[in-house]
Amino acid sequence: MKIFKALFIFFLSIQFCYSQKPAAEVRAVWLTTNWGLDWPKQGTSVSSQKEELCRILDELQELNFNVVLFQARAQGKTFYRSKIEPLSSFFNSSENFDPLAFAIEECHKRGMECHAWLVTFTMEKARVRYTGKGKRRRAVINDSKPDYYKLVDGTWYLDPGRPETKKRILSIVDEIVSNYDIDGIHFDYIRYPSNNRKFPDDDTYKKYGKGKDLYDWRRENITDLVSEVYDNVKSAKKWVQISSSPLGRYRVLNHIAPNDGWTAYETVFQDAGHWMKSGKHDLVFPMMYYRDHRFYPFVDDWVENCGGRIVVPGLGVYQMDEQSWPIQDITNQMKYIRDNKVPGLAYFRTGNVLSNLKGIKDSIRVYNSTPAKLPPLTWLDNTKPGSPQNLSVYKDSDGYLNIKWDAPDNNENFTYNIYASSIENVDTDNGFNLLATGLRKTSYSFPVTVGEFGYYYFVTTSDRYHNESLVCFPAFFVHSEEEH
């Protein structure tokens, strides 16, 4: 088994390592909390659930991930302390445990961003009671819901066309952005639910449609919500990123699948290309859970319609389990994304990655063999921060190399990146030169490697828009056995 694994990693290295390692790339993963799919184990103590989440984040850090999409709301239940909606039963809510606050803190400690993943319109399953006896028994929905809830196939949905729905989603986003040091708001299921375009909104359309085409009106409902969320968040905290995960196929591509019955634009009324082009999204994470001709042309189509914003294709690693895909389907997609300079990728979901399903964790370890910064959000701000000052590098008595510097000013929102290079002019666009990214302290240490060689060490500052400073004046360190 060990020999097989060594050979497997060797062949992965051939596939991935000889391509250029980007220094800036989104490397994201969806961390599912609903039903405890990825986290937490139910019925355990708060301390056990915290330890479990820390172990997960440690593994993600070790794999050089830089964004965690943390599920903070699902089925109308929250994984944070909300005054609007009830807490989810899938975590231990004793001791005032706030999973979102804890996840943000622990992600930041590890140089990763934390984005609050919100399931938008999908609510809980309807409760059913049965009346009558024998053959006359019939099912009756036992829930009492406001009329802006709509029932579809036994599940309640918020009606996107109702002002009450918009007000509710806006208040939830405001609650999170106001009370948490979140890096992003990420919308899932921000769409109409059915692949047959049916939704019980005749009453809503009659009241609010104003003579518009039904399908155009539905798209406008979602676009209006996205736009208002974006504007509200940017007026409060401009750096908080707005993203969503639309269906993986944006629109019908006639030369690929002219009769496609499952697209974001035509089927569920997500005009995500327009959201990007009109400046109401910072990133999009399309759910590219398909193969072959249903994957590659649609990745290209997203990039074509990105309007200069960041496209991060979501890969369905779970399909290796549910649909028995071979791992080569996923690794080929990973390679295509990087070879075509798409600025990142995401994986659904964390549990499938960390369980090393069909070797996916080994593949990611090779693919992400160097750290990566996050691409700059230049449309929000494009001013470079100041460079760190007074860099020093020394070896301590415990055999650790210590790198320390002074912040360029008192801005606590800065993070730092460390580079190492054998020459005095470092290439900050080459991922092989990166030692660490996303650091929130002005020091870094690691066990020193000893040998007859030396490195120049550099540090840069990054702001919350991922703008990076010029490198500071370097410090040179000789890694020999001699005392320093």
Chain segment 227-246, per-residue pLDDT in tens: 999 999 999 999 999 999 99
Percent of the chain with pLDDT over 90: 88
Q: What pTM, to 2 d.p., does this model score?
A: 0.94
Q: Tell me if 292 is assigned to some domain.
A: yes
Q: Judge if 318 and 403 occupy the same domain.
A: no
Please state, in angstroms and rounded to a whole number, the distance separating the CA atoms of residues 342 and 344. 6
Tell me the pLDDT band of 129, cut-offs 50, 70 and 90. confident
User: DSSP characters for 353-413?
Assistant: HHTTGGGHHHHHHHHT-S--BPPP-TTT--PPPPPPEEEEEEE-TTSEEEEEEE-SSS-TT
| b (16+ CB within 10 A) / e for 313-322 | bbbbbbbbee
Q: Judge if 412 and 467 occupy the same domain.
A: yes
Tell me the pLDDT band of 411, cut-offs 50, 70 and 90. confident
Q: Which residue's entry shows tokens 């449609």?
A: 209
Name the DSSP class of 115.
E
* CA-based nearest residue to 223, from 181, 279, 175, 172: 279
Q: Judge if 170 and 56 occupy the same domain.
A: yes
Q: Tell me if 198 is assigned to some domain.
A: yes
Tell me the pLDDT band of 260, cut-offs 50, 70 and 90. very high
Q: Judge if 333 and 428 occupy the same domain.
A: no
Percent of the chain with pLDDT over 70: 94
- pLDDT tens-digit readout, 12-26: 344 445 456 999 999
Please state, in angstroms and rounded to a whole number, the distance separating the CA atoms of residues 442 and 391. 10
Q: Tell me if 382 is assigned to some domain.
A: no
C-beta contacts of 299-302 below 8 A and 24+ residues apart: 299/336, 299/337, 299/340, 299/342, 300/340, 301/250, 301/251, 301/253, 302/250, 302/273
Q: Judge if 400 and 291 occupy the same domain.
A: no
- For residue 206, give its domain range: 2-124+162-367
Q: Tell me if 53 is assigned to some domain.
A: yes
Q: Judge if 356 and 393 occupy the same domain.
A: no
Q: Judge if 303 and 439 occupy the same domain.
A: no
Q: Which residues contact 330 (CB under 8 A, 6 or more apart)?
A: 315, 317, 320, 360, 363
Tell me the pLDDT band of 133, cut-offs 50, 70 and 90. low
Q: Tell me if 12 is assigned to some domain.
A: yes
Instruction: Name the helix (H) or strand (E) containing 481.
Output: none
Last residue of a domain, one of 335, 367, 399: 367
In this structure, what CATH number is given to the domain that contains residue 394?
A: 2.60.40.10
Q: Judge if 363 and 395 occupy the same domain.
A: no
3-state helix, strand, coil in the chain (%, to 5): 30, 25, 45
Q: Tell me if 157 is assigned to some domain.
A: no
Q: Judge if 90 and 167 occupy the same domain.
A: yes
Tell me the pLDDT band of 299, cut-offs 50, 70 and 90. very high
Q: What's the number of domains the chain is made of?
A: 2
Q: What's the angle, vertex CA 264, arms to CA 262 and CA 268, rounded to 5? A: 80
Q: Judge if 172 and 65 occupy the same domain.
A: yes
With H, G, I as helix, E, B as strand and everything else as coil, classify residue 283.
strand
Please state, in angstroms and rounded to a whole number, the distance separating the CA atoms of residues 9 and 171. 48
User: DSSP characters for 163-206?
Assistant: HHHHHHHHHHHHHHHHHS--SEEEEES-S---TT---S-HHHHH
In this structure, what CATH number is given to the domain that contains residue 62?
A: 3.20.20.80
User: Cα separations (Å) of 253 from 119, 257, 258, 302?
Assistant: 28, 6, 6, 12
Q: Judge if 447 and 396 occupy the same domain.
A: yes
Token reading at 320: 């290796």
Please state, in angstroms and rounded to a whole number, the distance separating the CA atoms of residues 67 and 256. 32
Please state, in angstroms and rounded to a whole number, the distance separating the CA atoms of residues 184 and 319. 27
Q: Tell me if 141 is assigned to some domain.
A: no
Q: Judge if 449 and 413 occupy the same domain.
A: yes
Q: Tell me if 135 is assigned to some domain.
A: no
